[in-house]
Amino acid sequence: MNSSFAPDTAAVLPAVRTGAHFFSWLFHPLLVGLYMALYLIYIDPEYFIGINVLGKTQVLFIYIINSIFFPLLSVLLCKALGFVQSVYLKTQKERIILYAISMIFFFWTFYVFKNKPGIPVIMAQMSLGIFLAVIIDFVANIFFKISMHATGAGGLMGLFTVLLYTSSGFVNIPLAIAIFIAGLICTSRLLVSDHRMGDIVFGLIAGFLSQWMASGFLG
């Protein structure tokens, strides 16, 4: 076989790893929730009909402050105070306090969306799913280092699967995109993290089922 047609492993592997790191950042668990919120607020044709731009922006702002800014700030404070050695939270022990803190903020997001007049129920449902996923990850973290990225990916698939059965909008293409993104996320974590396949699979299941459980509670 002509060696000129063989792939250059030394050149390919660094490029693959760079891509895996990029997708890991692009689809960080906190950002996956944001993408879900953006879809529901601005793209789905059903839930925010009749709500003006200011109202939509307020809902998005509530989500960003409670479910992204405060959890991220908590990680940075824990790093500054020496409670964790790295913002990447590479060990199960480092993740315990951050799971506990995140549960508070995610529950607060759900509570606000559930009780604030004029906000579609789907926002509370999505937020409850994320809160339940964090609880599952917190318990699982006692026994093994479940993948938070995979949990986010599972939640993404879970939300769009729920919408497939509950929304009047055309969700087939968004669901297919969500499955593709989940594949990218999980493959990336296998390439550039110390997660085993079981950590990834359990994370996917946890995120997926959490959205379905939330749908059962509030649907």
Measured CA to CA, the distance from residue 205 to residue 92 in angstroms comes to 19
What span, in angstroms and rounded, lies between the C-alpha atoms of 182 and 4?
34
The span from the CA of 22 to the CA of 186, in Å, is 13
208: Cβ contacts below 8 Å, ≥ 6 apart: 154, 155, 157, 158, 161
Longest CA span, the chain: 69
Least confident of 12-21, 33-42, 64-73, 177-186: 12-21
User: Using an 8 Å Cβ cutoff, are 207 and 179 in contact?
Assistant: no
Model pLDDT for residues 25-58, shown as the tens digit of each residue: 999 999 999 999 999 999 987 899 889 999 999 9
> What b/e sequence results for 192-211 when a residue is b if at least 16 CB atoms lie within 10 Å of its CB, and e otherwise?
bbebeeebbebbbbbbbbbb
pLDDT tens digit sequence for 117-167: 999 999 999 999 999 999 999 999 999 999 999 999 999 999 999 999 888
Contact partners, residue 89, CB within 8 Å, separation at least 6:
75, 95, 98
Q: Give the list of residues 6+ apart from residue 102 with CB closer than 8 angstroms, or none.
A: 71, 74, 134
pLDDT band at 219 (very low <50, low <70, confident <90, very high): low
Phi first, then psi: give them for residue 146, nearest 5 degrees. -60, 145
Q: Name the burial class of residue 126, with classes exposed (0-12), middle (13-18) and buried (19+) by CB atoms within 10 angstroms of its CB.
A: buried
pTM of the model: 0.89
pLDDT 10s digits, 164-187: 988 877 889 999 999 999 999 999
- The mean pLDDT value for 192-205 works out to 93
